[in-house]
Structure 1
């Protein structure tokens, strides 16, 4: 039982871990993307700063004049703190600023090869990246090269600072999101836990168990399906109890008669006056007992077929009815008439035969003088009606129910078997009173209207 109670908890933690993995994955993807984006953004900003400072210094004669706008000058000075300036002539002489010799040589070589007025460059000096812009300018009618550069330390500091701040922010958001994730996993598993407990109670035949049916999502649909199963199981349980009671009652009578007659014969007493009559009674009760057992076994067989694919074959209903009538004629002095033709249908020949036999057996038992059978086959399907002039039935009773009793209060499964067979063949059967007796009406749909029947027929 302890392991069973851990199952829902494991599911809850699985959901929580799944959400956690999604959060971590998204956070890592965001961090990787952000780092690349930040790097690209900072690179662009470094070049813009270099170009901005370079443009300002190159167009305001910074080397000689004080700008007219002191506020703008102060702002430019603030921006240029991380930017170094180098101005040199075409002959290589530096007239402003200083830089490492290797960097100066590279700048000079690129400057004299530069064809555009302004160009962006990036190089590495002793493992340190350098970003710089070289502008061609004129001073006193002479060509000069103006280089604005910044070392990678400034860029790397910006990237690291922004990256770690964003990383901390994403980490805090991820941690805070774990709380609603845990709550969500609990909410998702709560109805599952309730249904698990309800199903456990249902398995113990506690049919009054209530399930969480108020939900409108998939879990609510599952709960309603389980509740429908509960109701069906409850009905089947009640039916089984009634079946056992009816079977025990109806089987007890022939068994008691057989035992009583057998004991009497053993004591030399013949209840009917002679041995032959007493043996006939025993044989009759044994036949009744056999009939009930056969019916019960056949009901079990039909319940099995309900979930299986039937073996279907063409059935010649005219020949089948003719054969059954010839056999039943020998059991009584009645007037038998058959009218019309039903042709063929697809079905299980044994089951259809049993269904007709049960109806004819009832008709033979209650008919007073005649049994009339009408057959027809139209586009709507097969119609078969079996009438007899026996006493009317109580139409308020469901005589096709498996626990229905006849007029003498005897339990029987004949009509229940009939209805089950007809249902398996997608047909209908009805029993009712007529002006001069009782009639059982069968209807089977045409084979070509049932996709399953067509498929089985082709096979």
Structure 2
């Protein structure tokens, strides 16, 4: 397969266009121009009959021309006339060869209409003639025959063809000039954009895309500028994520290291060996929990384009399972479940994580009670997790679902971010609001979702 540059493709496209137009003109033009000039010749002959013959005082007496039949062939637009009565041969007018006269008389005798157009070949040339049927006072059939050679048509066709050829050459030259300009016009912005792509490939995306031309290239530049900004935001978010993750893991690692070193040195910071070991185990558990959160957060983020494994589950089954798992963290808090028979069409594993994170968050802030409520309304299914704790400060509302954004009792700042990503994968949305008697997190997802086979 031949690989052409953009310039070569532009040049080849214009050259092919010129060739196609030239071939079409070479095929269509001769036929169309010959037909048009032929009709023009007939019109000229008929005009000669009407204005120069029939308007004479005695149209039945035609003067003889000083040009012979063959000499008239050399003259452009020269019309000869003759009369035939009842098909009996020449009566008046210019002399014509017997062979031609016989053919004309035959056509006149068989003509039914008042006017007829004919042509014949004579010595390699074409003769156009018009037969007009007339009547005299004695009811004799008189035929006025006017003829003209194709000299005029051939001369005009040759002249028009020469002019057209000049026009085609000029058009080809101008087209190639336009092709050169067009190729230059295309290469310049592509070259600039290409250099910017090279910078992005080298992870240098600080410099913005700018190409102001008011055409498709400007729109393309704007689209790549949007991509650049998204990449920049993604890069910044990844850096922030790594910084926050390393910070979250650094504290328990430092505690474990310091306590382990102290035990090795025979020093027990918590008073006894068992108490010191318990701190190490607790910090290890906390670090394990954080690592699991981090891994699940990145896993959910990477699966954003994939469909969740949808199945139908009852809200009561999910809520009771999560309640049983987390109730021991704070036994004094009452957890009330409403709408147990409500059905959710969700990924069961992910929805357990949603409920677990929301309930775990509610347990940290609730005073005495938590409500887990589900209901189906119209084409949506709604889940509400509410606690009777203190309201969320307004300044924290905007970044509530961002990774590593923690409240005053928060642990890792990933729970609500994970919840939001799971909900969005199910085509729903989540929001938090302060109520009169506490704080609620409301999730709304479409009721009908296609179950995975």
TM-score by length of 2: 0.79
CA contact (8 A) 1:194 1:212 kept: no
CA contact (8 A) 2:365 2:409 kept: no
Q: 1:129 aligns with which of 126, 131, 142?
A: 126
- Distance (Å, rounded) in 2 between the aligned partners of 1:431 and 1:62: 108
Secondary structure of the residue aligned to 1:373 is strand
Q: CA deviation at 1:400?
A: 2.0
Matched, 1:357 2:333: no
Matched, 1:14 2:9: yes
- Distance (Å, rounded) in 2 between the aligned partners of 1:329 and 1:115: 113
- Distance (Å, rounded) in 2 between the aligned partners of 1:139 and 1:435: 118
Matched, 1:42 2:37: yes
Q: Which residue of the partner structure matches residue 294 of structure 2?
A: 296
Q: Which residue of the partner structure matches residue 71 of structure 2?
A: none
CA contact (8 A) 1:53 1:79 kept: no
Alpha carbons of 1:96 and 1:214: their partners in 2 closer, same or farther (altered >3 Å)? closer
Extract unaligned runs of 5+ from structure 1. 1-6, 67-77
Residue deviations 1:99-133 (CA, integer Å, cap 9, x gap) = 44533332343344445554321122343322123
- Distance (Å, rounded) in 2 between the aligned partners of 1:88 and 1:400: 107
Q: CA deviation at 1:139?
A: 9.2
CA RMSD between the two structures: 3.9
Secondary structure of the residue aligned to 1:207 is coil
Aligned length: 433
Q: Which residue of the partner structure matches residue 404 of structure 2?
A: 403
Q: How is 1:161-172 mapped onto 2 (pairs within 5 angstroms)?
A: 161-172=159-170
CA contact (8 A) 1:426 1:445 kept: yes
- Distance (Å, rounded) in 1 between the aligned partners of 2:424 and 2:255: 37
Secondary structure of the residue aligned to 1:290 is helix
Q: CA deviation at 1:408?
A: 7.8
Q: CA deviation at 1:174?
A: 4.5
Alpha carbons of 1:245 and 1:140: their partners in 2 closer, same or farther (altered >3 Å)? closer
Q: CA deviation at 1:237?
A: 0.8
Q: CA deviation at 1:433?
A: 5.8
Matched, 1:442 2:442: yes
TM-score by length of 1: 0.78
Q: 2:47 aligns with which of 43, 48, 52?
A: 52
Q: Which residue of the partner structure matches residue 334 of structure 2?
A: 336
Q: Which residue of the partner structure matches residue 387 of structure 1?
A: 387
Q: Which residue of the partner structure matches residue 69 of structure 2?
A: none
Q: CA deviation at 1:300?
A: 1.7
Extract unaligned runs of 5+ from structure 2. 64-73
In terms of fraction of residues, the more helix-rich structure is: 1
- Distance (Å, rounded) in 2 between the aligned partners of 1:285 and 1:264: 15
Matched, 1:83 2:79: yes
- Distance (Å, rounded) in 1 between the aligned partners of 2:251 and 2:53: 121
